[in-house]
């Protein structure tokens, strides 16, 4: 079979290399903190951006053709599979993620969509075997088609709910067939545009009903991986119910779903919610809800989900710091839910953008391990809370203290009781000194 991309396998050449098609920091087999870099990072390609997005935006048509030399629609989708696996194997990416609609055309009916999927899935399976590439997670696109204009499982229309159920059922079956270790729910339009037309209580209840059915069916057909919810505060809807990790945790707990779901944290969604990427990761880890990551970055001058490839090393460092401290990935990984800019419109850019993201996360991993080994941040934090290790603090932590005992104790205190400096700037300078050596 002829190659689609005229590019050689991308290798690690080290930081002094000027070869654009080489890794400068990502050395997949190198062992760091007891594990190969590739096993810490578990990079994944997002099928929708890399094989489908053609640069179309609100103001203009596509700038890159992703039919990969084919004309007939099913032939195009088959060719996308070959392009995907050639690209992943040349980049050394061992995982991928997809929506049902990314891998096969919807056609004119649900039957047609599903029979198209049945043609493509065996080709994907055969390519996975050929290249040793695995499925990180699958999902269903229940937000693009106009039938989902008011949402899917939170739609006012029960028929939309039912149609989404059929899509999720099939997407779960495909995920199991391909041995996927995760299944994602990103609430595309599960939210509202105006409360004037919205029954928020019913929409939330129905969303929980839908998730429960999906978990039941997934487990019934042998899905052993993790279910994830991917929080996002807005876009496409004005308000999305899965606003951020805290909101999703509260929702899951209300409906008794907290044991079934973990978070798929996306960097750009975190910043849209007014948080840092690190905040969302940290919150998920302390709630035993850390699952997987959609690795990208936003632009702080823009208020939308730009899905840029991650190149900000401070962000990747702090993200990897939280991930490594929490024990690293189990079923999850770093999925590049990212697209090269509309103006980066060549096949070369598909590679260069992934290389940039992979190197940025490799640097993040290296820096995170250095920060942990350096130990000054951990030591500072431990000392900062030392008052809870003994005396009244230990009584608070152990549950021995009551409001009365604390009040009695407080009356014995003398002086202004000003706590010690938080030394933020000093800690930021530690970060710089560890990153830059």
Contact of residue 232 among Co ion, ligand XUL, none (CB under 5-8 Å per partner type): ligand XUL
- 291: its two tokens: 């699952």
C-alpha torsion sign, points 103, 108, 114, 120: negative
Interactions with ligand XUL, residue window 84-123 (CB under 6 A): 99
Which of 102, 305, 337, 359 is an active site residue? 102
Reduced to 3 DSSP states, what percent helix, strand and coil does the chain have, rounded to the nearest 5?
50, 10, 40
Q: 312-341 mask for Co ion (x: CB under 5 A)?
A: -------------------------x----
Q: 158-197 mask for ligand XUL (x: CB under 6 A)?
A: --------------------------x-x-----------
Closest approach of Cβ 46 to Co ion, in Å? 7
Query: Contact at 8 Å (CB) between 261 and 281?
Result: no
Q: Which is nearer to Co ion, 10 or 267 (CB)?
A: 267
CA atoms of 80 and 345, how far apart (whole Å): 17
Burial class (CB in 10 A: 0-12, 13-18, 19+), 345: middle
Residue 232 in contact with ligand XUL, rule: CB under 6 A = yes
- 407: its two tokens: 């009040």
- 399: its two tokens: 């549950």
Which of 49, 99, 275, 279 is an active site residue? 99
Contact of residue 86 among ligand XUL, Co ion, none (CB under 5-8 Å per partner type): none
Closest approach of Cβ 52 to ligand XUL, in Å? 11
Work out which of 102, 244, 280, 294 binds Co ion, going by CB under 5 A: 294
Q: Which is nearer to ligand XUL, 27 or 266 (CB)?
A: 266
Burial class (CB in 10 A: 0-12, 13-18, 19+), 77: buried
Residue 244 in contact with ligand XUL, rule: CB under 6 A = no
Q: Which is nearer to ligand XUL, 292 or 367 (CB)?
A: 292
CA atoms of 59 and 69, how far apart (whole Å): 26
Respond yes or no: is residue 411 known to be catalytic.
Answer: no
In sequence order, the 6+-apart residues with CB closer than 8 A to the CB of 117 are 100, 103, 104, 170, 174
Query: Contact at 8 Å (CB) between 159 and 143?
Result: no
What is the b/e burial string over 280-299, where b = at least 16 CB atoms within 10 angstroms of the residue's CB? bbbbbbebebbbbbbbbbbe
CA atoms of 8 and 123, how far apart (whole Å): 23
In sequence order, the 6+-apart residues with CB closer than 8 A to the CB of 433 are none
Contact of residue 139 among ligand XUL, Co ion, none (CB under 5-8 Å per partner type): ligand XUL
Q: Which is nearer to ligand XUL, 236 or 393 (CB)?
A: 236
Closest approach of Cβ 38 to ligand XUL, in Å? 22
CA atoms of 294 and 232, how far apart (whole Å): 12
Residue 230 in contact with ligand XUL, rule: CB under 6 A = yes
- 344: its two tokens: 């980066």
Query: Contact at 8 Å (CB) between 267 and 319?
Result: yes
Quick one: which H or E segment has residue 336?
strand 334-336
Respond yes or no: is residue 49 known to be catalytic.
Answer: no
Query: Contact at 8 Å (CB) between 230 and 264?
Result: yes
Contact of residue 184 among ligand XUL, Co ion, none (CB under 5-8 Å per partner type): ligand XUL
- Going by DSSP bridges, is the β-strand pair 11-12/22-23 parallel, antiparallel, or unpaired? parallel
By CB under 6 A, the count of residues binding ligand XUL is 10
Q: Which is nearer to ligand XUL, 139 or 245 (CB)?
A: 139
Interactions with ligand XUL, residue window 336-365 (CB under 6 A): 337
Task: Tell me phi and psi for residue 85, to 5 degrees.
Answer: -75, -35
Closest approach of Cβ 61 to ligand XUL, in Å? 21
- If one counts every other C-beta atom within 10 angstroms of the C-beta of residue 59, the result is 6
Q: Which is nearer to ligand XUL, 183 or 223 (CB)?
A: 183
Q: Which is nearer to ligand XUL, 38 or 339 (CB)?
A: 339
Work out which of 27, 100, 102, 266 binds Co ion, going by CB under 5 A: 266
CA atoms of 55 and 131, how far apart (whole Å): 28
Interactions with ligand XUL, residue window 300-319 (CB under 6 A): 305
Residue 294 in contact with ligand XUL, rule: CB under 6 A = yes
Residue 184's DSSP bridge partners are 228
The DSSP output letter for 148 is G
Closest approach of Cβ 426 to ligand XUL, in Å? 36
Q: Which is nearer to ligand XUL, 304 or 426 (CB)?
A: 304
Residue 280 in contact with ligand XUL, rule: CB under 6 A = no
Active site residues: 99, 102
Instruction: Give residues in contact with Co ion (CB under 5 A).
Output: 266, 294, 337
Instruction: Give residues in contact with ligand XUL (CB under 6 A).
Output: 99, 139, 184, 186, 230, 232, 266, 294, 305, 337
């Amino acid at each position: 079979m002829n190659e689609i991309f005229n590019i050689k396998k991308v290798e690690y050449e080290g930081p002094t290399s000027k070869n654009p098609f080489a890794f400068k920091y990502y050395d997949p087999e190198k062992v760091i903190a007891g594990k190969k870099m590739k096993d810490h990072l578990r990079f994944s390609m997002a099928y929708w951006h890399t094989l489908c997005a053609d640069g179309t935006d609100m103001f203009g048509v596509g700038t890159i053709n992703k039919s990969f030399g084919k004309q007939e629609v099913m032939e195009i989708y088959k060719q996308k599979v070959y392009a995907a696996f050639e690209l992943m194997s040349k980049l050394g990416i061992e995982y991928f993620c997809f929506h049902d609609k990314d891998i096969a055309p919807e056609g004119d009916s649900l039957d047609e969509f599903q029979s198209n999927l049945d043609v493509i899935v065996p080709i994907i399976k055969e390519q996975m075997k050929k290249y040793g590439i695995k499925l990180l997670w699958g999902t269903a696109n229940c937000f693009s088609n106009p039938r989902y204009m008011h949402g899917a499982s939170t739609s006012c229309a029960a028929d939309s709910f039912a149609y989404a159920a059929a899509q999720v059922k099939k997407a779960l079956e495909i995920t199991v067939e391909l041995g996927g270790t995760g299944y994602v729910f990103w609430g595309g339009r599960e939210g509202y545009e105006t409360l004037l037309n919205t029954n928020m209580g019913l929409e939330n209840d129905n969303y929980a009903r839908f998730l429960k059915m999906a978990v039941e069916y997934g487990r019934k057909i042998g899905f052993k991986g993790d279910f994830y919810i991917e929080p996002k505060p807005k876009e496409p809807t004005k308000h999305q119910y899965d606003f951020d990790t805290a909101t999703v945790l509260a929702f899951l707990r209300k409906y008794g779903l907290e044991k079934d779901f973990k978070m798929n944290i996306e960097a750009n969604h975190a910043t849209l919610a007014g948080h840092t990427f690190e905040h969302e990761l940290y919150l998920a880890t302390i709630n035993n809800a850390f699952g997987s990551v959609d690795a990208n970055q936003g632009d702080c001058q823009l208020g939308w989900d730009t899905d840029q490839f991650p190149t900000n090393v401070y962000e990747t460092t702090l993200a990897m710091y939280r991930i490594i401290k929490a024990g690293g990935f189990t079923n999850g990984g770093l999925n590049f839910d990212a697209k090269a800019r509309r103006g980066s419109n060549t096949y070369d850019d598909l590679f260069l953008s992934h290389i940039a993201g992979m190197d940025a996360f490799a640097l993040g991993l290296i820096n995170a391990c250095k920060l942990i080994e350096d130990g000054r941040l951990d030591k500072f934090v431990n000392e900062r809370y030392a008052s809870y290790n003994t005396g009244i603090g230990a009584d608070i932590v152990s549950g021995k203290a009551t409001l009365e005992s604390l009040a009695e104790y407080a009356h014995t205190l003398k002086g202004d009781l000003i706590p010690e400096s938080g030394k933020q700037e000093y800690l930021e300078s530690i970060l710089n000194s560890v990153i830059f050596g």
